[in-house]
Structure 1
């Protein structure tokens, strides 16, 4: 399964985390996916990040800091 199989908002979140130079927080992701930096949007994004961690798309390095999951297949790569 690749990130192309995810719903668009989840794919956008994974792409932002993949492109980040280090761990990112929900409040850093929200403006990068085109949402206003409001508490409700940050909390909704944090919830999506936690779901992506549960499904092994992302890792939570420390509470609230998200990184790409190491063994995940990158979309478009041949393996």
Structure 2
């Protein structure tokens, strides 16, 4: 059985940013908090996620620990 969840450390996010735009991700922060939603934009300094209640979350990349996403949604 293959693994569906992929984890990307904060320092390796930018090469995959175009591929993940518009997909559901979990942004795990350095302090352990997790934000879930669609990735709307990613710059060198910030990442914007819109949660299921349509609230935007602008997160600093320096506070980010990793991004977790399900690979099945990329195959659709």
Same fold (TM over 0.5): no
Higher helix share: 1
Which TM-score bucket, shorter chain as reference? Answer: under 0.3
TM-score by length of 1: 0.26
